[in-house]
Amino acid sequence: GKITGRYRVSPKDDWQTVGQCALPVRGQPKTGLTTAYAPKDAEHFTRFSNFRMLHVEKPSAGD
């Protein structure tokens, strides 16, 4: 399987894919969040709202 990272700035924006990779073969999955690219003179804090992690079922062969 694969995992995909996406973001959007607001609910009105389209989702942007930032990366995709294979799921780990062994062990429990782990998740980390990183943020970057704040202006040099700005506070470097990030607030997440309505954060969700979703499990999407693989479509069956007939779909």
* Domain ranges for the chain: 33-57
Euclidean distance between CA atoms 20 and 38, whole angstroms: 23
CB 5 within 8 A of CB 20: yes
> Mean of the pLDDT values across residues 31-48?
77
> Mean of the pLDDT values across residues 4-14?
85
Q: Is the pTM of this model over 0.75?
A: no
User: Helix, strand, coil % (nearest 5) of the chain?
Assistant: 0, 20, 80
CB 48 within 8 A of CB 35: no
